[in-house]
Structure 1
Amino acid sequence: MPDLIRLMVGRDIGGRPPRPELSRAKVVLTVENLVLGQDREPISFQLHAGEVLGLAGLVGSGRTRLANALGGIRAARGGVVTRNGRPVRLKRPSDAMRSGIAVIPEDRKREGLILGHSVRENLALPSLRDLSAMGMVRSRTERRLASEAVRAFGVRPPLIDIAS
């Protein structure tokens, strides 16, 4: 793999950078020996309270696969993920959401939105179970929550109920 990387970027990028001093904050997420594919080394890391984890790497390095595994989009082949000391099962995106894990997709426009739907409907997607009764979405509650989110995030959509 180092030879391939050297050919792609035109220089030897060396080994991994030295690890920074670990935060003294509480560990909120632990990933131990997460296996993403047959040709991949297991991945292990800890995330402390107040930290934000960003994934970077060359195409094919496994960053998308790792994000998808943590987001419950694509199951890992092995390993353990714990959130606040409790093991979590990440088989579906709803599992990740229940565990407080959120993933922002690489292509947010294509993978993070339903472009034919309104801002209100897109904001409601993660909460449909809470916003519906007997299979029907409670529109008034959906509209109120969308308006609150738009205010909280400081965005100015043309109209909250109009599809793009």
Structure 2
Amino acid sequence: MENNEFIEKYNDWNIKKQNINFSDNEDIYFKEMDIWWCSIGLNIGSESYGKGRDFRRPILIIRKLSDDLCIALPLTSKNKIGTWFVDVLLNDENRTVMLYQIRTLNRKRFQRKMGEVGIKDFNKVKEKLEKLLEFPENHHPAQAEIERVDGTSTLKGNSIISNS
């Protein structure tokens, strides 16, 4: 996609985001284990983004923080393998949860509930997320081994890590 196309899409998302911000979604009630269509927007670099005119993507709610706010994980219909991904079943279809794309979301972004994951899949997601976020007792970030989405890893010293 060329720069002009990106600029146009970012402008479209900016308008959509303003409309979302001023919307009133008080009739939306969500809970942990729910999967919702969510306008997550057009984001930067390899951050997950929504598609279509509403810039939406399915998300799994893993923690309800308040009536308005939750911690969620985006889903993809593409089969992904690795420690950053978990397969779940939604309405008899396989979906992949992208653990590394964890984010906080406001219910104003929610559009329509798709369903919910079963307790076994939800526990599997929680376990893999805990493992991903686990910090060993003697963890030294400057000398951490970095595992990339593609499954490769590298040891980086005091440098900025890049996937390119």
User: Which TM-score band applies after superposition, normalised by the shorter structure?
Assistant: under 0.3
Q: Which has the larger radius of gyration?
A: 1
Q: Provide the TM-score with structure 2 as the length reference.
A: 0.26
The structure, 1 or 2, with the larger RCO (C-alpha pairs under 8 Å, 6+ apart) is 2
Higher strand share: 2
TM-score, scaled relative to structure 1:
0.26
The structure with the largest helix share of the pair is: 1
